[in-house]
Structure 1
Amino acid sequence: MAEADTRDLAKQRPHHVSTQAWVTHLGGLRQGEGRRVVARAHALTGPLAATREALVAGRVSPEQADVIVKSIETPPVGEAVRRRGERTLVGQAGCLDACDLGRVGRHLVHVVDPDGEDHRLERQLAREERAAHLGRYLSIAADGAGRVRVTGRGCAEDGALLKAALLPLTAPAPAVDDRDGTLVPDPRDHGARLWDALVQTAQHALDTDLPRPRTAPRPG
Structure 2
Amino acid sequence: MTTFLRTILGASVALALATGLTGCASGSSALGGLVPTAAAESPAVTPNAAAATAATGDIVDAAQADVLLKAGQGQRAYPMADGTFVVVSKTEPLPANVQADMDAKTAATLAPFVDILADEEGADAALGSAQLFIAKNTGKRVIIALHALGYATSYDEVKTMKWSISGGPAAGVLLDDEAAAHGAVDAFLAGRDNASEYAVVYVR
- TM-score range (shorter-chain normalised) is under 0.3
**Per residue, is there more strand in 1 or in 2?**
2
Give the structure-1-normalised TM-score: 0.23
Larger relative CO (CA 8 A, sep 6+): 1 or 2?
Answer: 2
